[in-house]
Homo-oligomer: A and B are copies of this chain.
Amino acid sequence: MGSGNVAERLTDAFTGNGIKVDYLLSKSSRGQQLAANYGLRRVNNPEDIEGEGIVLLCVRDDAVNEAFARRFSESVLLCHTAGSVPLSALGERRRKGVFYPLQTLSKNRRLSFEQVPLCLEAAAKEDLELLAALAGSISRDVRFLNSQQRLHTHLAAVFVSNFVNRLYGIAGEILATEGVDFDILKPLIEEVAAKIKDVEPAEAQTGPALRGDGKVIDKHLQLLENQPEYKEIYQIITNSIIKHKKEK
């Protein structure tokens, strides 16, 4: 349902694991393509979906609302896939749930769903079990989160993915001013992400801010003199590191 990155990656994961996807609800050309690629029956309206199956709404967070939900048959288990949207956004219906994959899903980038945490919620116990079985067919990491937990998890995910990626971008711009290739940072980026698997963040922290090395910090700030935006980011995160320093 929907034809964006989430729909595409989920369709790929389900069909790859022998789970039949019946319908695709989408009017877009990308939806047509997706339906053609995976042999799905494409429909234009929620009212066209029949049976008692699970319907996954892979749409923008702000497209999940009661009016839209009301158009689906009461007999389907209607689920949204949005981290920031509460279960209640699907209205008063009995059969409703959430199927939230916690991963960054890109258009042209396949990834194994086996490691993707699937965060589930449902109004009815039987429906939660149904979702767990479905989730378990494509991932080994199935979790039960209520709406409040999911919202916080979504926020935390923004910090470690969107915000981290922006820091990568800033670093790339800093290097470009001196003609240094971004790939010089790749082993470091990889190691920082790998380290966190074994060591908790406070323990893994290193660098001038943690060491209280004011001289290096001053040099860095001077380099950013003409980029007030990056200077401000530098200062605020540096202060945060100093403030939350764990005594070793």
**A residues at B contact (CB < 8 Å):** 60-62, 84, 102-104, 106, 109, 111, 115-117, 119, 141, 143, 145, 148-149, 151-172, 174-175, 177-180, 182, 184-202, 204-211, 213, 215-216, 219-220, 223-224, 229, 232-234, 236-237, 240-241, 243-244
Residues A159 and B174 in contact, CB atoms below 8 Å apart: yes
Residues A170 and B159 in contact, CB atoms below 8 Å apart: yes
Bound-state Cα–Cα, A199 to B190, Å: 14
Q: Which residues of B contact A200 (CB under 8 A)?
A: 172, 182
Give min CB distance, A54 to chain B, whole Å: 23
Bound-state Cα–Cα, A207 to B193, Å: 19
Q: With A157-B188, A163-B237 given, can you name 15 additional A-B contacts, CB distance below 8 Å?
A: A84-B219, A106-B195, A109-B198, A148-B178, A149-B178, A156-B171, A156-B172, A156-B185, A157-B171, A158-B220, A160-B188, A160-B189, A161-B188, A163-B233, A189-B196
Residues A162 and B205 in contact, CB atoms below 8 Å apart: yes
Bound-state Cα–Cα, A84 to B217, Å: 10
Residues A161 and B192 in contact, CB atoms below 8 Å apart: yes
Most buried by B among A168, A179, A213: A168
Bound-state Cα–Cα, A161 to B197, Å: 15
Give min CB distance, A224 to chain B, whole Å: 8
Which of the residues B151, B180, B198, B205 comes within 8 Å of A149, measured between beta carbons? Answer: B180
Q: Which residues of B contact A193 (CB under 8 A)?
A: 189-190, 192-194
Bound-state Cα–Cα, A223 to B115, Å: 28
Cross-chain pairs A/B with CB under 8 angstroms, 28 sampled: A61-B216, A84-B219, A102-B187, A104-B188, A104-B191, A104-B206, A106-B195, A106-B199, A116-B187, A143-B184, A145-B180, A155-B220, A155-B223, A159-B234, A160-B168, A162-B205, A162-B206, A162-B207, A162-B208, A162-B237, A165-B196, A166-B237, A166-B244, A167-B167, A169-B202, A182-B201, A233-B237, A236-B236
Bound-state Cα–Cα, A220 to B199, Å: 27
Which of the residues B188, B197, B208, B237 comes within 8 Å of A102, measured between beta carbons? Answer: B188
Give min CB distance, A209 to chain B, whole Å: 6
